[in-house]
Amino acid sequence: MEVLGNMESYKQEFIEFMVDCQVLKFGEFVLKSGRKSPFFMNAGGYVTGAQLRKLGEYYAKAIYDRYGADFDVLFGPAYKGIPLAVTTLIAFSELYGKEIRYCSDRKEEKDHGADKGGFLGSKLKDGDRVVMIEDVITSGKSMEETVPKVRGAADVKIVGLMVSLDRMEVGKGGKKCALDEVKELYGFETNAIVTMKEVVEYLHNKPYKGNIIINDEIKAAIDAYYAQYGVK
């Protein structure tokens, strides 16, 4: 497909990658928030070694592009954030030669053994600079649990959050998108590998492997969705 404007090449590749892995789908879906959406992104659809390897590379490039390499820990909230963090750290080490530690929380604290407690991986230490990683943020609810856990574990600085797709819809406050709400509420940067606007711009009425992924009908459904749930 043609290169669009100033969109980085890895963003274009990532959009195609989501389509190829059938992680980004279009139709009618009911989200956890109760909203009826014409599109759905499920990072749980990355299931093979090759897919996870590529996914880690895209996250690593986006994190480096937005936050550089000046951080100590990549935190992936349980459960989907765990494989995301692990594969991204492997890619980050290979691409940029920087060793970053991995940490995740447990849904339930472990009360036995040498690694008992509420976290997996490396312990958070005072002074650590932390980047958080998630698949997608729809309402920002997941951050309500995760951020206090991370900040409560040690005197750390959360540098920012990286998600794969910015759905670009209003959060719980009803005025700003969820990523902007998280940024305002917790005081750290929030970014995505790609935004839904970039996805639509790249795929609308453009053949990809012999198919039109977003035709005029799907585009109209997406526009109607954003008329209701998009940032005004």
User: Is 213 annotated as contributing to ligand binding?
Assistant: no
User: Is 107 annotated as contributing to ligand binding?
Assistant: yes
User: Is 27 annotated as contributing to ligand binding?
Assistant: no
Nearest-angstrom CA–CA distance, 118 and 39 = 34
Q: 163-173 burial, b for 16+ CB within 10 Å, e for fewer?
A: bbbbbbbbbee
User: Is 225 annotated as contributing to ligand binding?
Assistant: no
User: Is 81 annotated as contributing to ligand binding?
Assistant: no
Beta-sheet strands, E only, within the chain: 24-30, 36-41, 73-75, 101-110, 117-121, 129-133, 136-137, 157-166, 189-195, 207-208, 211-212
What does DSSP say about strands 73-75 and 101-110: parallel, antiparallel, or unpaired? Answer: parallel
Q: Which residues contact 79 (CB under 8 A, 6 or more apart)?
A: 107
User: Is 176 annotated as contributing to ligand binding?
Assistant: no
User: Is 140 annotated as contributing to ligand binding?
Assistant: yes
Q: Which residues contact 80 (CB under 8 A, 6 or more apart)?
A: 43, 44, 134, 135
User: Is 54 annotated as contributing to ligand binding?
Assistant: no
User: Is 110 annotated as contributing to ligand binding?
Assistant: yes
- CA dihedral defined by 51, 120, 149, 165, rounded to 10 degrees? 0
User: Is 61 annotated as contributing to ligand binding?
Assistant: no
Q: Which residues contact 104 (CB under 8 A, 6 or more apart)?
A: 75, 76, 77, 78, 81, 82, 85, 119, 120, 121
Catalytic residues: 110, 112
User: Is 137 annotated as contributing to ligand binding?
Assistant: yes
User: Is 138 annotated as contributing to ligand binding?
Assistant: yes
Binding residues: 32, 79-80, 106-107, 110, 112, 134-142, 167
Binding residues for orotate: 138, 167
Binding residues for 5-phospho-alpha-D-ribose 1-diphosphate: 32, 79-80, 106-107, 110, 112, 134-142
